[in-house]
Amino acid sequence: MTQPLELAPGVIVHSGRSREAVAETWLLLAAPDQRKALIEWEREGLTLLRCGGLFSAVRIPAAVVHAAAGTEDPRKLTAILREALDGPVFYDRSGLHFYALTPRSTARLWKVPESECLGPDFFLGVPATSVTAPDPRFRAWWVVPMDGPAALCFPAAVASFVQRGRSLIAAAQAKQVADA
């Protein structure tokens, strides 16, 4: 791991790789077997982590995310999700879902339709912190990478984003019916 840079007295900047390594170490605390998880991340780009201890994960259908963001363009989507959710989000192309990592307590109170919060007793396939772009070898990647340990999305921001997407989809469907 690279050492942080001190730009001025008391102003320390950590490199992207340093933040990634710390986030990786933190995520590994949710693995039943950390050594196996590291091997799976290296070989498959994905490993199973237990939700509900360190974090919960809100599963959001891609259609809802795309509607809320107003785009499917990957670059624009990354910028919009970074701004709107201010935390780590990954995409799993096999299920066509985005996952926003939130504090572990989120699952107890989550009641937002067309999304599900995975808490205790759920295992989730989480991509390696180094997989930050679509890669044909791997099924999932970080759209908004983790910025550090426990740097998670705010549940209210995720709920608002999902509700916006749901509203826009409902409005588009109503317009189609009216136009028919």
Q: Mapped to the 3 state alphabet, what secondary structure does 69-84 carry? A: HCCCCHHHHHHHHHHH
pTM, entire model: 0.89
Question: What is the reported pLDDT for 176?
Answer: 83
b/e sequence 19-31, b meaning 16+ C-beta within 10 Å: bbbbbbebbbebb
The pLDDT tens digits along the chain (180 residues) read: 444 545 445 544 444 567 788 999 999 999 999 999 999 999 999 999 999 999 999 999 999 999 999 999 999 999 999 999 999 999 999 999 999 999 999 999 999 999 999 999 899 999 999 999 999 999 999 999 999 899 999 999 999 999 999 999 999 999 888 887
Q: How many other C-beta atoms lie within 10 A of the C-beta of residue 114?
A: 14
Q: Quote the tokens at residue 4.
A: 């942080």
Question: What is the reported pLDDT for 7?
Answer: 43
Burial label for 102, CB within 10 Å (0-12, 13-18, 19+), is: buried
